[in-house]
Structures are given as C-alpha cells and as structure tokens.
Amino acid sequence: MSSHDLRIPEQLSVQVQAYLNHLMIERGLSDNTMDAYRRDLKRYLLYLTQENVTGVETISVHHVSGFLQALSSGSHHMGQLAVSSVNRVLVAARGWHRFMFLENITPTNPAADIAPPKTGQHLPDGLTIDQVERLLDTPSPETASGLRDRALMELLYAAGARITEAIALDVDDLITIDEIDETIVVRLFGKGSKERIVPLGSYAVDAINAYLIRGRPQLAAGGKGSAALFLNRFGGRITRQTGWNVIKQAARDAEITDDISPHTLRHSFATHLLQGGADVRVVQELLGHASVTTTQIYTHVTADTLREVFAYAHPRAAR
C-alpha cells in the first residue's frame, strides 16, 4: 500500500493542526514557512500511520529515529532526501513534539534527544563586486520594467533583503530621514513578521527614485491604485517568481554563468560587508538573523583577508 492510500488517524491530524495554529497565531510565521511545516508534518504523519500509530501518546523515540532513517534511506515510501532536507523535516517533527509536551498533551518528548544528521557546512555562493556591478547594469533605463528591475536588484543588494521581503514592500515602506542628503531607509518585514530598518546606499536610492518618477507611474496606469512598490505590467504587485525571473534574465544578459538567484544578492551583501570590515553583529542586524550563529556562516569568506591583514599588521606574524 502506498502512502497515498493511507488514512491518517484523526487524533494525529487534530494535534498537528493545533500545533500549526500555534505557529500561525502565536509566532506569526509567513505563508511560505507555514506551507513547509504542513508538508513536513504530513510526511511524518504518513510514516506514523504506516507504523500503526493511532495516538500521540504512543509515539516513542524509536518512531522518531525510525522516521529519520526512513527519510535518509527512502524507505516507507518516504522518498530519499538530502541531509539538509532531512534536518528541515526533523525540525518540524521536533517542534511538534516539544509543543505537545509543553502543553501537557503528552507526558514525554520522544524527540528531545534525537540529534539531526551531520552535514558539511554549506558555504553560501556569492558574486564578486565586478559581477554585481555587471548584473545591476543590465536592465534598460529606457523602459518602465527595466527601471523596476534595476531598482529591485539594487534594493536586494543594498539591503540584503530576501525576495519575499522586497516584493512585499509598499511605497510607504521607504522612509526619507534626511531630505537634503536624500538619506533613505527601508522598512523590511522578515520571518515571523519581525521588522527591521536598513539604510540604502546612494546607488539604490538613485535607482529607486528613477523608477518611482519614470517607471512606476507607467506600470500603475494599468492597475487599480496598488500601494505596492514593485508593480507588474497590470499595475499589481509582482510575484516571487517575477523576482526570480528578473535575476535570471539579468545574469544571462551579464554573461554570468553561475547559477544565481535573488538570494545570491543577499549572500553577496553579507560577504562584501564583512570583507569591507563590518562587524558580524551589525551584519546580523541588517540581515534580520535571530542569532549571530546564523550570520557567522559568512565569515569564512573573510579568512584570506584576515590572514593578509594579520601577516601585514602583527609584529610577530612574519617569519
């Protein structure tokens, strides 16, 4: 019997839905994150159903570890997953068990001592400064969509924004704090609707102003007065897919052969700041990371620079 033919016991479904409600209401997770939790927990419930589990009180540590093994091996109709994907699914399962334990739904937490499989550190791919400049120079300044695409990419790189944060921006999220110097900050809403304020450099400000003056009014003419900053040709808010397409097309036009995405500009933002001497905790705030540990994955890129500075500056470095 395939997993598609299984009927998940009602008690399991009810308790998972209670956890999803908690995530949505109490923690305010984004729609994309909620969809990921639903998929991952459904996968877990299908495994438990195959193991004849009908109630949460009977789930044991062996079920959790068995699920981990099934994900890694592809047994139980799970489909073999990469280590990073296994870890993501395990986070959802562990969060559910922790929730049920803290809410006194179950007497124990069977996932408490289950460690995620080890994975090699993934070092984010980034672009060189020259590649970024080539990428940002590709959109045509003669068309409304070209002005929009340039402004979008400049903002992604200037603010280290996620593509979902950028497309969610309204015009009012751009805040002028100095009219004379044209100093502008952008208000971004990250994971869990956490707000952060990020300053924009002069290149991004110029690109956004050009779009607001010469590009956005043309695009807005085809719509019904959307407050969105980045508009499509129908005058509505652009989609995440449009943002991806903009980056892909710009990469082709700039003859950048690396497989890049909107997140590549976020990686490059962090990398170039650290290479320029920015403090990792400042970069953490700008990226909107809850923990500095997440940001520290970018510090590998400064290793060569640090060694050069050390060799030059430390009185006992030279041999």
The number of C-alpha atoms within 13 Å of 15 and in the hemisphere containing its C-beta is: 24
CA 202 vs CA 67, 155, 158, 197, 205: distances in Å: 51, 11, 9, 16, 5
For all residues of the chain together, what is the average pLDDT?
85
Helix (H) or strand (E) holding 131: helix 129-136
Point out the catalytic residue in the list 44, 47, 211, 298. 298
pLDDT above 80: residue 264: yes
From 63, 97, 162, 267, the catalytic residue: 162
DSSP state of 127: -
Pick the catalytic residue from 42, 134, 187, 191: 191
pLDDT at 105 exceeding the cut of 60: yes
Question: Which of helix, strand or coil describes residue 43?
Answer: helix
Which of these, 295, 263, 264, lies nearest to 279 by C-alpha position? Answer: 295
Give the integer Cα–Cα distance in Å for 154 and 141: 13
Q: 47 — alpha (psi -120 to 50), left (phi > 0) or beta?
A: alpha
Q: Give 2-40 as a DSSP string.
A: -GGG----HHHHHHHHHHHHHHHHTS---HHHHHHHHHH
pLDDT tens for each residue of 69-82: 888 888 877 777 87
47 as an active site residue: the answer is: no
- pLDDT tens digits for range 204-220: 999 999 999 999 999 99
Closest CA to 262 of 278, 274, 250, 280: 250
Select the more confidently predicted residue: 17 or 303. 17
Using DSSP's 3-state secondary structure scheme, residue 143 falls into: coil
Tell me how far the alpha carbon of residue 216 is from its chain's centroid.
26
Per-residue confidence (pLDDT) for residue 52, from 0 to 100? 93
Q: Is 289 a catalytic residue?
A: yes
Selected residue with higher pLDDT from 319 and 274: 274
By DSSP bridging, strand 174-178 and strand 195-199 are unpaired
What band does 2 get if pLDDT is binned at 50, 70 and 90? Answer: very low
22 a catalytic residue: no
Give the pLDDT confidence of 47-68 residue by residue, as tens digits. Answer: 999 999 999 999 999 999 999 8
Residue among 76, 196, 237, 266 flagged as catalytic = 266
Residue 306 zone, left/alpha/beta (φ > 0; ψ -120 to 50; rest): alpha
Q: Is residue 150 very low, low, confident or very high in pLDDT (cuts 50, 70, 90)?
A: very high
Integer Cα distance of 74 and 216 in angstroms: 49
Q: Judge whether 214 counts as a catalytic residue.
A: no
Helix, strand, coil tally for the chain in percent (to 5): 60, 5, 35
pLDDT in tens, 15-25: 999 999 998 88
Domains and CATH numbers, the chain: 3-102 (1.10.150), 133-260 (1.10.443.10)
